[in-house]
Amino acid sequence: MTNEVENIVVLDFGSQYSQLIARRIRECNVYSKILPFNAPAEKIKAENPSGIILSGGPASVYAENSPKCDKDIFNLGIPVLGICYGLQLMIHTLGGKVASSNAREYGKAIVRAKNHDRLFEGLGEEIQVWMSHGDKVLQLPEGFVPVAETDNTEYAAINLPGKNFYGIQFHPEVVHTPRGKEFISNFCHKICGCSGNWTMRNFIETALEDIKNTVGDKNVILGLSGGVDSSVAAALISKAIGEQLTCIFVNNGVLRKNEAERVQQLYRDNFKLNFVYVDATDRFLDKLADVNDPERKRKIIGNEFVEVFDHAASEIDNVAFLAQGTTYPDVIESVPIDGNPAAMIKSHHNVGGLPEKMKLKLLEPLSRLFKDEVREVGKELGLPHDVVMRQPFPGPGLAVRHIGALTRETIAILQEADSIVVEEMKKADLYYKTWQAFAVFLPVRSVGVMGDERTYDYAIALRAVESSDGMTADWVKLPYELLERISSRIINEVRGVNRVVYDITSKPPGTIEWE
């Protein structure tokens, strides 16, 4: 981003919610950038931030190997907000005392504001918040004052007057703090002085300039899947460099039913792109045969994907970049970023399945956007509604919705079942109102009765979730009539299935995809 764009730097101490903090800042029309917890103060200063937020984290600040920030960030003259662990780190670093608490505070709490602090402006005297901590501030550093309390702690929020240092023990970034966005907004606008000049149009202008400068006179190939992310990436890169971009659509054998035909028709008829179709079905399915482990599936698909692109690149002159529609959740969940101590959840084929010696450089213009932001970019670029609003589809395709080793027969079963789910969700006018709805193949056979005959066939699980960014999700209470219709159609129309179940697990503790 350019220095003209106001931004808030988030230092990540391993919290699973760091990306949500960044997201809430962006909702205030302020750009946010996540840096590792140990980023040097000079590097942070170079970002020209209007403020700094210290994220939460799983560690205890008094532990020997707990993540610490550069102490000099408190000498930059920039407002700082510490959230949970971030508050405790600020206290610990500046001379206060933090210790383990006998009364761990987890879940809903009521914060009582006092001193009419700017952070609480417009929020009233009592605010419902969400707590998650086992440590407690025992003593404030010199000059700090408490500005809010709960029944469990008198230091639910603190401030160092004159320095614009703030700390809150609760999490304003999660939905369980109903007015959390107002806390973030107060920090960004009232304390940091941001006017809120960052929009998706602003992002597009900057991204186009960055793509041009990065690519230069080289050519780019992009893996076009037909999903939202790769489509928006294609439109954005094409707008920046035109015919220097070649989009390659690879049929890996684990796509949705009729997906190859749909994508070819869509992009050849509606987009002015260099388009190449590669049918690698047999190549992928042969490599995936007898593979049960989901991580191995992802790695195999990632490696094969790149090899196909390396071959395609050899037939196109001057290719130096492989473009992907990688988004922020892909990056955050896949690998620790720049020393982030957060644990890996799972790899994605975008970022976790690429071989170390890949011949092409990666170009990922959407890698700092959340899904809803990607959709906004797509709308700004004029992409069709059914492309922009299409439900997310995993890079490894149906391979991660097929539990256990797959065969051509069982993938076909899953494709048919999935097609019915999508069709019925659209008929019920719920497809575009739901984050994701899909079928999962279970390699479990059970006894059934169809007609007057005994069957011993597979089970299909249905999954439907609501989310705004893919980082957290709740299962959808689909109408019983719709579930009944989907179940009936799958059992009657998909040979090899005699049982349908519904997954009612939220994220966390589960993930959206089964593998």
**Per-residue pLDDT tens over the stretch 478-489:** 999 999 999 999
Catalytic residue, chosen from 133, 171, 189, 402, is 171
Mean pLDDT of 39-68: 93
pTM across the whole model: 0.70
Task: Give the pLDDT band (50/70/90) at residue 354.
Answer: very low
30 pLDDT above the threshold of 90? yes
pLDDT exceeding 90 applies to what percent of the chain?
57
Task: Give the pLDDT band (50/70/90) at residue 82.
Answer: very high
The winner for highest mean pLDDT among 3-12, 181-190, 322-331, 385-394 is 181-190
Cis-peptide, bond into residue 36, ω within 30° of zero: no
Distance CA 184, CA 175 (A): 13
Q: How far from each other are the two terminal CA atoms of the chain, in whole angstroms?
A: 35
Mean pLDDT of 405-427: 96
The winner for highest mean pLDDT among 97-101, 243-247, 450-454 is 243-247
The winner for highest mean pLDDT among 270-284, 295-309, 488-502 is 488-502
Annotated active-site residue 259? The verdict is no
Radius of gyration of the chain (CA): 25
What is the signed CA dihedral for 7, 10, 11, 17, rounded to 10 degrees? -170
**Comparing 266-270, 350-354, 359-363, which segment has the lowest mean pLDDT?**
350-354
Count CB-CB contacts under 10 A for residue 96: 21
The winner for highest mean pLDDT among 123-127, 385-389, 479-483 is 479-483
- Running DSSP on this structure, what letter comes out for residue 170? B
pLDDT exceeding 70 applies to what percent of the chain?
92
CA-to-CA separations, 152 to 35, 108, 170, 252, in angstroms, rounded: 32, 12, 12, 55
Residue type, 85: Y
Side-chain half-sphere CA neighbours of 204 within 13 A: 20
Mean pLDDT of 466-470: 82
Q: Is 103 left (phi over 0), alpha (psi -120 to 50) or beta?
A: beta
Count CB-CB contacts under 10 A for residue 100: 10
Mean pLDDT of 11-32: 89
DSSP reduced 3-state for 43: helix
> Which letter, b or e, does each residue of 173-187 get, where b requires 16 or more Cβ atoms within 10 Å of its Cβ?
bbebbeebbbbbbbb
Mean pLDDT of 194-217: 93
- pLDDT tens sequence across 426-440: 999 999 999 999 999
Average pLDDT, the chain: 87
Mean pLDDT of 119-123: 91
**Comparing 48-62, 156-170, 312-326, which segment has the lowest mean pLDDT?**
312-326
Q: Which two tokens stand for residue 254?
A: 């684990």
379 pLDDT above the threshold of 90? yes
The winner for highest mean pLDDT among 119-123, 213-217, 241-245 is 213-217
- pLDDT tens sequence across 1-13: 444 678 999 999 9
Catalytic residue, chosen from 173, 182, 373, 416, is 173
15 pLDDT above the threshold of 60? yes
463 — phi, psi (to 5°)? Answer: -135, 125
Catalytic residue, chosen from 69, 84, 192, 247, is 84
Annotated active-site residue 349? The verdict is no
Distance CA 234, CA 224 (A): 7
CA-to-CA separations, 266 to 201, 227, 436, 471, in angstroms, rounded: 25, 11, 22, 30
pLDDT of 455 reads 79
Distance CA 441, CA 294 (A): 13
Bridge partners for 107 per DSSP: 131
Residues 6+ apart with CB under 8 A from 493: 416, 420
Residue type, 293: D
353 pLDDT above the threshold of 60? no
Locus of tokens 């065969």: 407
Mean pLDDT of 280-288: 94
Mean pLDDT of 506-510: 89
Annotated active-site residue 247? The verdict is no
More confident site: 378 or 310: 378
337 pLDDT above the threshold of 80? no
Task: Give the pLDDT band (50/70/90) at residue 386.
Answer: confident
Bridge partners for 130 per DSSP: 108
pLDDT of 452 reads 61
